[in-house]
Amino acid sequence: MVVGSDGFGFAKIEEGDVTIKTWPRLAQDRPVRNVVIESNAELQANTCIDRASIGETRIGRGAKIDNLVHVGHSCTIGHDTLLCAQVGLAGTTDVGNT
């Protein structure tokens, strides 16, 4: 299980007349965001949850996340929401009673 990994994406860095696209972890002054896992949430094997790029990534109270699920950056999973195996959520997706 991985909680709080860097999300997938690119950042633009302007250097004179050149624009460089780079992974976010290489960009300077990138704010560190968080992952919130509320009480009684269950995360199964090989679940990956990216930390937020804006706001927070939140797993709601009593949510159940099955094996091989990917939760993208800044997603919100509602209370008592079920995500079954091999679900993938793109960044900033809201699911359930958010």
Q: Which residues are catalytic?
A: 73
**Cα-only R_g, the chain:** 15
Strand ranges, E, within 1-98: 2-5, 11-15, 18-22, 34-37, 42-43, 48-50, 56-59, 64-65, 70-71, 76-77, 82-83, 88-89, 94-95
